[in-house]
Homo-oligomer: A and B are copies of this chain.
Amino acid sequence: MVSIKDVAKQAGVAISTVSKVLNNYPNVSEETKKKVNQAVAELNFVPNSVAAALSSKQSGRVALLLNLGNVSQAVDEINMQYMAGTISRAVALNLDVITIFDSMLKNKSLDEVVRYLRSQSITGLIIFGMSKDDKVLQKLIGAQFFKIVTVDAPLVNASSSAIWIDQAAAQYDVAKKTLKENKGKSILYLAGKKNGYVTGERLKGVQRLAEEEEIPLLVRNGAFSELQARNLTLRYAKKKDIVVCASDLMAIGAMRALMDMDIFRPVCGFDGITLMGYAGKQMNTVRQNFERIASEAVGELKRLLDGGEGRQIVMDYELVRMKYEDILMAAQDKNTGGI
């Protein structure tokens, strides 16, 4: 293994000088720089980041916590986008990313998790979609060892940052659009899990709409799942004009149930997953740019690690209408490489 020492010898300078050149320190003459760079090239020297991390006490290692557990395959697409956004930005900012799934944490004691992260020299955390009262999250916040950026979760403390879209406004918007387009006069709202942060916000949005429009709103909680949505739709859909769902997967369940019942009710969802194109009918939904959100989260974490103050960032969203043909075309565009 060729080390900085060899480079120094080859260039005829001291080790410290090589280090300075490598890290763009001032007070190195152009001539010396040239000598060093030439030696680096000749020896094909690659700095050892482990040694650098030890010496500088800056590991640059960051963990990405993903919540896989809740809605099966639909969430794979979202998580992949989160990951892609996170990782590419992290590489650009020279951070290492260790990915952790919540399922890996389930069997571990919280102390074990903290110990694991600490032993890995992880100093920053990006946490996607975990509820505030999640015990793991609580512990990580309490541990004080990490800078934290949460995505789609409430702000945890003053030294952390949070990134989200305005869930209430988005739910309000998509529901209102669907209501107006169909001249509806009442709403069935499938709200998903009770007590969740995101679900709570979305509920507020549809409630505000119902109040403003002075129309009846029937709210049903349940699991965040397609089957639950199906069952609730079979039971309640006839009584209301439109079905607003807190997630796309539920919207698909609702839409399929309606088709089986052979009655028509407009349905809208939330998230903009590709699966919406396979639901059988077009639906309105809210699309977030998960990749960009993730990228933003990494940037924010870097800022925190560099000593910045915690803050809140609100991202925008977009109302879309998803249909099979669009999915087909979009998939076609991506079709490169291969096995």
Contact = CB atoms under 8 A, between A and B. Distances in A.
Residue with the greatest number of chain B CB neighbours at <10 A, chosen from A46, A59, A192, A224: A46
A67 to B, nearest CB: 6
Nearest to A252: B278
A335 interface: yes
Contact of A100 (B73, B87, B98): B87
A330 B72 contact: yes
A97 B101 CA distance: 13
A158 interface: no
Nearest to A69: B337
Interface residues of A, number: 80
A97 B99 contact: yes
Nearest to A332: B227
Contacts of A59: 50
B196 A67 contact: no
B335 A225 contact: yes
A227 B328 contact: yes
Interface string A98-114: 11111110000000000
A165 interface: no
B337 A50 contact: no
Interface of A: 46-51, 53-54, 59, 67-74, 76-77, 79-80, 83-84, 87-88, 91, 96-104, 115-116, 118-121, 129-131, 134, 152-153, 192-193, 196-199, 223-228, 230, 249, 253, 256, 273-275, 278-279, 324, 328-332, 334-339
The 5 A-B pairs of least Cβ separation, nearest first, read A69-B337, A72-B331, A278-B278, A73-B274, A129-B339
Given A80-B80, A226-B328, 9 more contacts: A48-B121, A67-B339, A71-B334, A83-B101, A88-B104, A91-B116, A196-B339, A223-B332, A278-B278
